[in-house]
Structure 1
Amino acid sequence: MSLQKTSCDDRINLVGDDPVARSSNLRDAARVLHAVETGSRGPATPPALRQFGALYGSSAVMCALYEQVDKVAGTDAPVLICGESGTGKELLAQTLHSRSSRKAAPFIPVNCGAVSAQLSESELFGHEKGSFTGAHQRHIGYFERACGGTLFLDEVTEMPPEMQVKLLRVLETGTFYRVGGTEQIKADVRIIAATNRALDSAVQSGDFREDLMYRLAVVPLCMPPLREREEDIVLLAQHFLAQLNTQHGSAKTLSRMALNLLREQPWRGNVRELKNAILRAYILSDQTLTIEPQCRQRTSDPVLTSEGCLQIAVGMPLAEAQRALIVATLEHCEGNKRDAAERLGISLKTLYNRLALYDSQTIPAAA
């Protein structure tokens, strides 16, 4: 069969004498003609989950982060990663390491909150035999183990104050001594630190040295919370489910209700909470996964309205704060949706779409 499209009337001519072939050709031609006339190229391809090093995400905030990582990874500048618990700060640190010139050398993670104050110096810098009671042999610390590579200091604000002074000294001189040693050792490592606290608050409270903060935060990076990456939520859930299916040789799927619920939950525990929710649903469900709305069963943060003002507690999830603002504005406009949309700076259609998600809340009738 050959298809010929004329330039005059966009008709498709069929060439072929076999009746059976002609019948088949007619069906094929009809499909082609429909595609030509409508511009259709078949069903839309669903968005794919982008992988970038150890990170996954296709949202705008994640793509912007990937661009920053590409610029920073090739340098030895200290990086400070901020972000809530469960966002994937260590995965970001691993990605920085894997895309750097140090990728063939070790990546050594250290949880600063898990190292005792008494042993922190020995753990970081090592010690010589006999340097203190119980030091029966030489111990190589994290700095030496990470030689040529990357040392990741997780929860760095939990580091004891006396160790902060010693770490600052190493960052300034690029050298250190083992406990009880006299040999000066070069600190050939790239430092990446992370915290889930606001560093300014830690400095103001006296828990963290201001000069060390400036040394570590040469390049600050922020891992966005999951509620700011709404486009990634379903993609990540499907990714985690695919991993479980591959691991266990199953073919479980997510129900439509589960997908809707995944989009609506606040995910205060971020990606870690989402991953655990999928694992829990996988274990408890048969072929189709259902998600329990456990994350929404909590006491809401206080929202106060008074004389046209809205007071929202610091730390309230963004989705809940947005909902409170929309509802309060609508009440202030006495239920006039068009007026409320104008005040909020959104289209009337967007407001209706948002209210459809808030159907469990009492909304004033339209004026």
Structure 2
Amino acid sequence: MVQRPESPTELAAALEGITELNFHLPDPEDEDIEEVEFEQQVDNAWKVCDHFDLQTDIWRGRILRAVRDREKIGGEGRGRGFLNWLKDREISKSQAYSLIELANSADTLLQQGHLDPDTINKFSKRAFLETAKSAPEVQEMVSKAAQDGDRITRREVRQLSDEWTAMTSELLPEEVKEKATSGSLPPRYLAPLVREMEKLPDSHQGSIREEAAFNPDVDTVKQLTSDARNLSKYLDAAAQVQAIAHSSVDLEMALEEALRVGCLNTAADMVKQAAQLEQTVAKLYTTWRRLGSLSDRLYVDTGASTPNLRLLLTCLDRLAGQAIEVQLGEESDRTIRLQILGDSES
């Protein structure tokens, strides 16, 4: 029986020259494993990973995932133990979850059979993540390219994904697909159109499809992509604006009129700005109420013995009162005044 190396140095020596890591990580749900032993095993695996490239980060992600999941058993630490583990190794939380995402992507591709373990080092990290998000058919094409010896970058993955989308999407008319097949209409222009059309109702998809079939060229596809994007922005924003919801305006008729006179982009932007304004007003009101509450509390807790605190309260009266005054910029002489009305609870 081969003796299992325990120390990081012995593990590194044992794996020298090996192109694929295959650690046996401790089960994070196995409560029979002592914490000291669990940490020692994952520490050993972590240090060995310094000798590898993409596989290193995949295994780092698996290690981090094991440490994170181990803590979920008790549930009382609220993430502090995992965060302390990261702090001890000078790893940021965002970096840790990026590595976990990479590990999840690798495991998904391997489990689905769309990745040969021997080809992992053919990928860049971003290409690997992009592949994991792609359709299974695209994953198979990428895997085949890697097996053929190609170096896989994010650009290659996106190119294959665009080609597959252009050839298979039911949203594109046959006239457009024929142009794509012949090479006169590059797939990189069609994929964005498909993504934007997927966000639209069937009625709007149909009109865009008809226009694309009538003029299957690059300029038309670009314009239709822009129109579809603006349509989506218009519909999404309009659904969020209370001023519209409480009115009798016919959104579809307004949309048709905007399309007819060629001002869809302006209309979409206007509705989007209206939605943002309503959200800003709601946030302003909440903040104003909070400031007023804090001012009242501080006023009760202070008196003649705290003249500077009282002066601070006086300075903030212009923000905490019914009328809010804000100067635009330090050098501007323009002041914005807002009055909050109908606040019965103030």
The normalised TM-score by structure 1 is 0.22
TM-score by length of 2: 0.23
Q: Which has the higher strand share?
A: 1
Instruction: Report 1 or 2 for greater relative contact order, CA contacts < 8 Å, sequence distance ≥ 6.
Output: 1
